[in-house]
Structure 1
Amino acid sequence: MNVLICGFLVALAFGVGAVWVCENDSELPEDVKQFVERRDICDHLRGEIGDGNNKNAVDSINKYCSGTDKELSRLRDRYSKESRIISELKGYEEEIEARKP
């Protein structure tokens, strides 16, 4: 029942693609679960920004995306010998954050 409720809530908030994490999150270490949740929100928001300069969208992107490049690298290093976790992280782009000049 919890999986169905969780899946339904995630589907409403972020689209069906995020449901898998909710169904299988007990298999992942807590730091990986937290990264996946944050990065999925980040990627969703990045897809919603469009061509306009929406300050609220930019603020949300900064909130959820900042630091995820470094965190992804750290997780890939930490779990480099655990194929299940590396497979989970494989789909995320390595560098999404703007580089400072």
Structure 2
Amino acid sequence: MSGRCSSSGSLLHASRKGPVLAPGTPYDHRKVAHPGLTDWTPSLADTALARRALACVPGRPDLLYARVDVVDGEDGRPCVMELELVEPNLFLALHPESVPRVVEEILKRAAG
């Protein structure tokens, strides 16, 4: 899961993708950056974990954007794999409904 949050702290959209490093893939083999990328609705456990991860970030109210990557742990419960605070890809082509909110947040921040 990759969830994107706006500066208001609310979930903007979520996506699901497959593993980049599939078992048996040679390290020097060409890899797809976001294999099997799809729109996705996270579970309550996924979103609760993402919120707890974001609550640990100093200065969190000042964030314009954050992405929390979550994977299933061995026990089936979600675990944070990565917390992105700077991301060049917002996957807006997959989530065009998020474009107006992203633009609005950027313009608000630029206006000061």
Give me the TM-score of the superposition, normalised by structure 2.
Answer: 0.26
Give me the TM-score of the superposition, normalised by structure 1.
Answer: 0.28
Q: Higher relative contact order by CA 8 Å / sep ≥ 6: 1 or 2?
A: 2
Higher helix share: 1
